[in-house]
Structures are given as C-alpha cells and as structure tokens.
Amino acid sequence: MTKATYALDVASQYFCDGSEQQTPAAFSHARLTQITDESGSTKYGNDAYGRVPSKKQVTGQQTLNVGYTYGSCGGSQRQASVTLLKPE
C-alpha cells in the first residue's frame, strides 16, 4: 500500500497485489487492486494476463459493478466490451 495526498489535502491510498515490499520498484511489477479516498473505494479484479475483467466502485451508499471483456485483434488482446452489472 502507498499513500498520496493531492490538492485540497485529499489523501488516496493505493493497494497492489503480489508485492510485500512497498517500494516504487515493487509497484512497477504489481497490479493495482484497490484505490481508496474520502469519497469511497474502487476495487479492480485482475486476470492471469494482466487485464482488468471487473471493477467495483463504492461511493457512499451506491455500488457500481462493471465487467470488461476482451477479444483478440491481430494477435493482441483488446478490450471488446464494457458492461454495467446489477448492483449487489
């Protein structure tokens, strides 16, 4: 986890997987899994290919779930669709 403070003194925390060492070099090899700040949190799912297949954003009493699908185009993986999922 690392913490950054932005304009208006708003602090955000960033969480990554795959790294016990919380250094810039370690973060360069880890995947972002969550961001939190005073407005709420955003959690990211990660698959084995480094893609983000899901995102869950919580702000106050509202939860937004988003699913992402990927297809191949000329041998490279590209995002194919974004779907707003039903709230939990």
6 pLDDT more than 80 = no
Q: Where are the domains of the chain?
A: 2-85
88 pLDDT more than 90 = no
Which residues neighbour 88 within 8 Å (Cβ) at sequence distance 6 or greater?
63, 65
How far is residue 45's CA from residue 24's CA, in Å, rounded to a whole number?
A: 21
Residue type, 28: S
Answer for the pair 32, 44: CB distance below 8 angstroms, yes or no.
yes
Residue 83 pLDDT class (50, 70, 90 cuts): confident
How far is residue 14's CA from residue 72's CA, in Å, rounded to a whole number?
A: 30
pLDDT digits (tens, 9 = 90+) for 20-69: 545 555 556 678 889 888 889 999 998 887 788 899 999 988 898 888 88
Q: What pLDDT shows up at residue 4?
A: 67
Q: What pLDDT shows up at residue 1?
A: 55
- 55 versus 16: which is more confidently predicted? 55
Distances (CA, A) of 4 to 33, 35, 37, 81, 84: 16, 11, 10, 31, 29
